[in-house]
């Protein structure tokens, strides 16, 4: 039976409607948990990386490309193909999307669309590695760890179909 690994410390950055829990092990970030701000407390960024991430998240929810900072992320125990997928993922411009198949090709394995889906599902750094920008070949949303409602909101925000102030459960989002 696997036991859950506990982070050494946790910081929270919040820019409603989004929040990120930063999970640290030593001096490295091993996970960024993206969630709705209503599910967490206020920002308690104590590190330089946390404060920088808070600034970028505020830019992001304001509808601006945040230019995510160079964070001390750890990639230990990451499969090489997953790492290549995430590196290619980081190159998808703000407001644009790719399909799983297109990302597989960019990562060097054109027939590995399903493996790309697995890499997206294991992405520990959403937004920084924007897996919400990857769609199914038929134009469907595919999956998203933080939930399809969030994926839809992120894509609508980046495409300009909603404003940063559009409520998460708005009918405008359903039409986006």
For residue 85, indicate whether it is catalytic. Answer: no
DSSP strand pairing (18-25 vs 28-36): antiparallel
Coil, strand or helix: which one is 101? helix
From the list 29, 37, 45, 131, the catalytic residue is 131
State the Cα–Cα distance between residues 161 and 48, nearest whole angstrom: 33
Axis crossing angle, helix 113-121 with helix 80-89, rounded to the nearest 10? 80
Report DSSP state, residue 132. Answer: G
Say if residue 78 is exposed, middle or buried (CB neighbours under 10 Å; 0-12, 13-18, 19+): middle
Distance, CA of 163 to CA of 153 (rounded, Å): 10
* Residue numbers annotated as active site: 131
């Amino acid at each position: 039976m696997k036991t859950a690994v506990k982070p050494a410390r946790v910081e929270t950055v919040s820019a409603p409607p989004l929040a990120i829990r930063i999970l640290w092990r030593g001096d490295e970030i091993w996970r960024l948990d993206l969630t709705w701000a209503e599910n967490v407390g206020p920002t308690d960024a104590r590190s330089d990386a946390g404060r920088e991430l808070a600034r970028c998240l505020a830019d992001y929810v304001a509808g601006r490309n945040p230019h995510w900072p160079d964070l001390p992320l750890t990639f230990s125990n990451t499969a090489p193909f997953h790492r290549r997928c995430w590196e290619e993922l980081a190159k998808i411009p703000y407001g644009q999307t790719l399909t799983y198949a297109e990302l597989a090709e960019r990562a060097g394995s054109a027939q590995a669309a399903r493996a790309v889906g697995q890499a997206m599902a294991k992405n520990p750094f959403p937004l920084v590695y924007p897996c919400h920008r990857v769609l199914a070949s038929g134009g469907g949303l595919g999956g998203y760890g933080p939930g399809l409602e969030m994926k839809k909101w992120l894509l609508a925000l980046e495409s300009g179909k909603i404003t940063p102030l559009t409520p998460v459960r708005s009918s405008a989002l359903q039409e986006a």
